[in-house]
Amino acid sequence: MDFFTHALLPYLLASYLAWEKRWVAALVLGGIAPDLDVFLSWAGSILPPHLLLVHRGITHSIFFGLLFGLLVLYLAALPRVRGLWRRDDLDLEFSARSLVLVWAGVALHLLLDYTTTRGVPLFYPWQSLRYSADLFFQIEPAVLAATILILAAMLRSWPTIQQKENLFVVFLLFLLLVGGIRMEGRWAAEEDFALGNASIYPLPGLFSWAALEEKGNSYLVSRYDLIVGTASFSPAIPKLKLASSQKEAEEALAAAEGLPQVKIFRWRAYAVAVNASFCGRGSWDIEYCDPMVLSQREGSWRFLQPPSSRYGSLRVAVQNGVARVVE
């Protein structure tokens, strides 16, 4: 889910329960804490990739999520940081109750992200497998739009306690409605592709889904529309495409696979297709692409599209056995 929804839902929940503002702040802090990993992502390209110092990486596991929540609460409760608020009723304290509420916020964050495509590595460091219900898109446009409308309305005219309670009920019902539409679409897509070995994933459109299938040495990405009730098919994408013999390319591919960026790319990807081209004089141009992410990017709003160099595709140049990422 998006950052704003991760903040709004715990705020409305705590307001619905009529908590004191300091406890509301603790729950909201926990709700956004895992996404503060954006300040750690810079280290992901220089430190070992198994540390998962990327977005939706280490801080989105149960163990490190709780540990990171503890650290964020400690920093937020420091006198210098508390002084920035200049509000006594919002002062966060480093106490057992605050910590429990921060951890509850972290758990809510992980639950929301679990429902989205790509998922979260819940049991890291014991395993790096990402768990996902693949129900919502990574940033669900309908939910984001509703969140922004609610936040805009709240900023324009601060709601009363009763209005906050009503907003929580309405927002929760809206999430259930969107979830119900998504479930119906998923079931219909699974039935349509029942004869194959396709994996079903949500697309940005509320009624749109994609199916990823392995067909021999190729990947096939298909689209399904719940409203129309039909599927459309895209050209097959080779798993490995070489402009030279595989034996000549093995050294270049081995060098590229050693890069931490490539290892992280493979960890994030639904599937990986590789296109290796020989450029002469010991030089290779290797492109890694995720067919599913490229399909998800088609037709989605630009601000919802993650940079292709980080998600959908990655280019590597290899010169005489030395590999580097091409930005």
SS3 for the chain, per residue? CCHHHHHHHHHHHHHHCCCCHHHHHHHHHHHHHHHHHHHCHHHHHCCCHHHCCCCCCHHHCHHHHHHHHHHHHHHHCCHHHHCCCCCHHHCCCCCHHHHHHHHHHHHHHHHHHHCECCCECCCCCCCCCCECCCCECCCCHHHHHHHHHHHHHHHHCCCCHHHHHHHHHHHHHHHHHHHHHHHHHHHHHHHHCCCCCCEEEECCCCCEEEEEEEECCEEEEEEEECCCCEEEECCCEECEEECCCHHHHHHHHHHHHCCHHHHHHHHHCCCCEEEEEEEECCEEEEEEECHHHHHHHCCCCHHHCCCCCCCCEEEEEEECCEEEEEC
Tell me how far apart the alpha carbons of residues 192 and 57 are, in angstroms, rounded to a whole number.
33
- Residue 79 tokens read as 């006198």
Are 19 and 106 part of one and the same domain? yes
Looking at the DSSP bridge assignments, the partners of residue 218 are: 215, 238
Are 91 and 215 part of one and the same domain? no
pLDDT for res 195:
66
**Are 212 and 221 spatial neighbours (Cβ–Cβ below 8 Å)?**
yes
Tell me whether residue 297 is in a domain. Answer: yes
Are 49 and 151 part of one and the same domain? yes
pLDDT in tens, 148-170: 999 999 988 888 889 999 999 99
State which residues form the domain around 117. 3-158
Tell me whether residue 84 is in a domain. Answer: yes
Tell me whether residue 172 is in a domain. Answer: no
- pLDDT beneath 70, residues of the chain: 85-90, 195, 245, 299-311
Are 208 and 253 part of one and the same domain? no
Are 79 and 200 part of one and the same domain? no
The two most distant CA atoms of the chain are separated, in Å, by 72
Q: What is the pTM of this model?
A: 0.91
- Residue 170 tokens read as 């309405």
Tell me how far apart the alpha carbons of residues 310 and 265 are, in angstroms, rounded to a whole number.
7
Tell me whether residue 118 is in a domain. Answer: yes
Are 290 and 251 part of one and the same domain? yes
Number of domains in the chain: 3
Q: Which of 214, 237, 260 is the last residue of a domain?
A: 237
pLDDT for res 86:
61
Are 231 and 270 part of one and the same domain? no
Tell me whether residue 130 is in a domain. Answer: yes
pLDDT for res 88:
56
- Residue 184 tokens read as 């119906």
Are 226 and 287 part of one and the same domain? no
Are 77 and 14 part of one and the same domain? yes
Tell me whether residue 32 is in a domain. Answer: yes
Tell me whether residue 163 is in a domain. Answer: no
pLDDT for res 229:
82
Are 8 and 134 part of one and the same domain? yes
Q: Which of 215, 237, 259 is the last residue of a domain?
A: 237
For 293, counting Cβ atoms within 10 Å of its Cβ (0-12 exposed, 13-18 middle, 19+ buried), the class is: buried
Are 227 and 314 part of one and the same domain? no
Tell me whether residue 148 is in a domain. Answer: yes
